[in-house]
Amino acid sequence: MTTPLWRIAMTAPARAAEALAAALEPYVTALTAMEDTPGGTWSIEGLSETEPERPTIVAALALAAATVGTPPPDTVIEPLPEVDWLSLNRQSFPPIREGRVWVRGSHVTDPCPAASIELIVDAARAFGSGSHATTALCLRALQDEIRRRRPGRVLDLGCGSGILAMAAAKLVPTARVVAVDLDPVSVATAAENCRLNRTATRIRTGVSRGWNASLVRGAAPYDMVLANILAKPLCAMAPDLGRGLARGGRAILSGLMTHQEAQVVAAHRAQGLRLVRRYRRDGWSALVLG
């Protein structure tokens, strides 16, 4: 029996969006913040795999709103119904093409576009179906980087459904990839997707909170690190990245909004890493550091 997901959602003025998203982040497993209108309101939504403590969250959001001089947001906290994920996949997950990478659900029978690599990924309880802008940005950055240098050792940190790890394995068949997530459901989903996409022999999956697992530490240093998570944990793990990235290696970091770029860059600059390039889409960013 699966555990129901809980949704925490609100609408906020632009000047309060960053503070409210930061306040909500510790209480959720996945977080999105989208601009509804340029310079206008933002929609902020988080998903939790445990029942949220409503008084604690409401108080944290009220405090965050007060720091920027706005009223507390009207916050919806509700359980999501059990979902027929395959049906949802068929309805809302059309094929996605980003450069040479073509991601489709198993229900799609269209042939793979010429000169593309195909990834079959169905919607699942694991976060990271590939449709989010940050995943697309990481796929774009990954392809740009491997044209400059083909990595031998790759880490997908916070792998979700495993899309980035599988893309790296298919784009660079000689690479050895480690894919980890703190969520066991995500790891199980990623492992199954690796088997389905015939990359399991080159991708080692496991549960890890950041760089803590021996699987992650033992395979370091990495020529490439992919981390599509959130700004706060990216900053917290900057020292680990500084130690775990090989000389001349590249890190592709995403899951952050454009206004969070400066803090993520600063945290990694303190570890001797510099910003090489950035990608932006729909208010989200991916940063390439080395």
List the binding residues for S-adenosyl-L-methionine.
135, 158, 181, 228
Please check whether residue 254 is in contact with residue 32, taking contact to mean a CB–CB distance below 8 angstroms.
Answer: no
Rounded Cα distance between 247 and 186, Å, is 30
Q: Which residues contact 66 (CB under 8 A, 6 or more apart)?
A: 72
Structure tokens given for 12: 């906020």
Rounded Cα distance between 136 and 43, Å, is 21
Please check whether residue 47 is in contact with residue 7, taking contact to mean a CB–CB distance below 8 angstroms.
Answer: yes
> Count of H helices and E strands in the chain?
10, 14
Collapsing DSSP to helix, strand or coil, 86 comes out as helix
CA dihedral 183, 187, 163, 269 (to 10 degrees): 50
Q: Which residue has the tokens 């509700």?
A: 78
Per-residue b or e along 165-190, where b marks 16 or more CB atoms closer than 10 Å to that residue's CB? bbbbbbbbeebbbbbbbbbebbbbbb
User: Residues at the annotated binding site?
Assistant: 135, 158, 181, 228
Beta partners for residue 179, in sequence order: 156, 205
